[in-house]
Amino acid sequence: MGRTASQYPWVIVPTYNEASNILDIVEAIRKAVPAATVLVVDDSSPDGTADLVESLSKGDQFVRVLRRPGKAGLGAAYRAGFREALSAGATALVEIDADFSHDPAVMPRLLDGLDDGAGLAIGSRYISGGSSEGLSALRLLISRLGNRYASIMLGIDVRDATAGFRAYEADALKMIDLDQVRADGYGFQVEMAYLVSQLGFRIIEVPITFHDRRAGSSKMSSDIVIEAMMLCTIWGISRRVPWLRQGSRQDRLIDHLEKLIRRSS
């Protein structure tokens, strides 16, 4: 019998100033999936998040911390975590937020989806049985419209492509050149789902209840939303206009628009 995706999972937890949550979320992850290695990727949090995890790791070989020199964004944190996990032989890689907006108890269901042959299992708010609690009507509307737009532009049958609670089968991630992944924030999640779909892997969605963060402050900004919409638009146009995919035209256009976004922010 060959190995399964759930045999040696790694759970990647990106953090910046999550000292109020980090020990509890690591404990909850370890309880939900005892076989998992928990890798906290910390962007030099001034509140000592990484120090707390390092102290915990001294008594638990399944807890690790990756310290990064500065705050470089969600996408960069996940890419760094993916590389470390894959190099250590991970069979599945799970993304989860540190703020308890995602329930760690759902992780076994995501891993079961990978064991059943999916390349990506997404914890979805927008399929039957899923919901978002504590979010304002405006924030919920923006999220739903953004996901619908991404689905149409990219031709992917995913209701919650921006979801940050998901599990990848390791072989699917190995086929993606992480150095070429452009986006951050919501856009990173959409881009990764798009790339997995383009490679021909099956994507499934598992219903979850999304909770507003229990403690700390949100890292979401208008720039992240604008970036995601801009990237979806360019990728969607490129699907229909082969000329834009030739050479480095698409990348140059993205570079130009990102500079404009940074100047206006």
Token pair for 113: 């989806």
Reported as a single tens digit per residue, the pLDDT across 204-263 is 999 999 987 555 455 555 666 777 788 888 888 888 888 777 667 777 777 777 677 667
CA–CA gap between residue 146 and residue 189 (Å, rounded): 12
- High-pLDDT (> 90) share of the chain, %: 65
In the chain, what's the furthest Cα-to-Cα distance? Answer: 56
User: What pLDDT score does 123 carry?
Assistant: 97
- Can you give the residue ranges of every domain in the chain? 5-215
Q: pTM for this one?
A: 0.88
> Mean pLDDT lowest for which of 74-88, 118-132, 161-175, 178-192?
178-192
Average pLDDT of span 163-192: 92
User: What pLDDT score does 184 carry?
Assistant: 80
Task: Give the gyration radius of the chain's Cα atoms.
Answer: 18
- CA distances from residue 29 to 13, 36, 44, 94, 227 in whole angstroms, order as listed: 10, 8, 22, 11, 31
CATH of region 5-215 = 3.90.550.10
